[in-house]
């Protein structure tokens, strides 16, 4: 899979260290510090039964909560940070809104001069095919996300090589069920970095 290449409209991938270790904002918690409830949810999330129903149930619930809270909340953010991606359908050309878990990197919380970026993991709950939103990002990487009630224009870059390896390690520490998803499928899970588009451009 070719990734770290620039996609049209992209700004290029960042250094290997970005997204690994301290580059990831606090979110899902990890390792031995995870409480009993979190461990149970992780175990359920990694199951095949969950993978069969989650793609139909969770996005619908997230859209409802997102609409009711005027973009401030997603139901799934009780366990993982989340955003709503608005992309352009690769085939239809129509707007597509997709609630997704995300891994915020340094600066995603805001602050003066912060360069905000987010990692998206195309796990599709461990299902065989790449999720449709990943095809949309490859076709048109300049998109909009709703992050904590604010619309943000971002550019997506597909990661590969050492950079992908570093971010994948961080993603596994962030949410261990991703490892179970990857073991079940032959495709390599796509990882994207979304970087905020500079204002005024």
Backbone phi, then psi, for 71, in 5-degree steps? 85, 0
Listed range (5-14, 126-135, 141-150) with the worst mean pLDDT? 5-14
Contact residues for 33 (Cβ-Cβ < 8 A; gap 6+): none
What CATH number was assigned to the domain covering residues 81-108+115-200?
A: 2.30.110.10
Beta-bridge partner residues of 195: 117, 155
pLDDT in tens, 37-62: 566 556 656 566 666 666 656 666 65
Parse the chain into domains and list their residue ranges: 36-79, 81-108+115-200
Alpha-carbon distances, residue 80 vs 28, 66, 152 (angstroms): 5, 15, 19
Contact residues for 93 (Cβ-Cβ < 8 A; gap 6+): none
pLDDT in tens, 62-96: 566 656 666 565 555 556 888 999 999 999 999 99
- Read off the pTM: 0.69
Q: How far is CA 52 from the centre of its chain?
A: 20
């Amino acid at each position: 899979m070719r990734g770290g290449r620039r996609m049209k409209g992209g700004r290029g991938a960042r250094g290997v260290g970005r997204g690994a270790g301290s580059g990831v904002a606090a979110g899902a918690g990890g390792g031995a510090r995870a409480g009993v409830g979190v461990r149970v949810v992780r175990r359920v999330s990694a199951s095949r039964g969950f993978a069969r129903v989650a793609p139909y149930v969770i996005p619908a619930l997230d859209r409802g909560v997102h609409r009711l809270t005027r973009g401030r909340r997603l139901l799934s953010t009780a366990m993982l940070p989340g955003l709503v991606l608005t992309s352009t359908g690769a085939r239809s050309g129509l707007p597509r809104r997709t609630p997704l878990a995300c891994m915020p990197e340094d600066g995603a919380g805001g602050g003066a001069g912060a360069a905000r970026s987010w990692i998206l993991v195309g796990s599709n709950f461990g299902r065989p095919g790449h999720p449709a939103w990943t095809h949309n990002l490859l076709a048109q990487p300049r998109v909009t996300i709703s992050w904590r009630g604010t619309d943000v224009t971002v550019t997506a870059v597909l990661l590969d090589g050492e950079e992908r390896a570093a971010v994948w390690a961080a993603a596994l520490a962030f949410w261990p069920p991703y490892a179970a998803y990857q073991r079940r499928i032959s495709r390599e899970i796509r990882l994207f970095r979304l970087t905020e588009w500079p204002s005024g451009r």
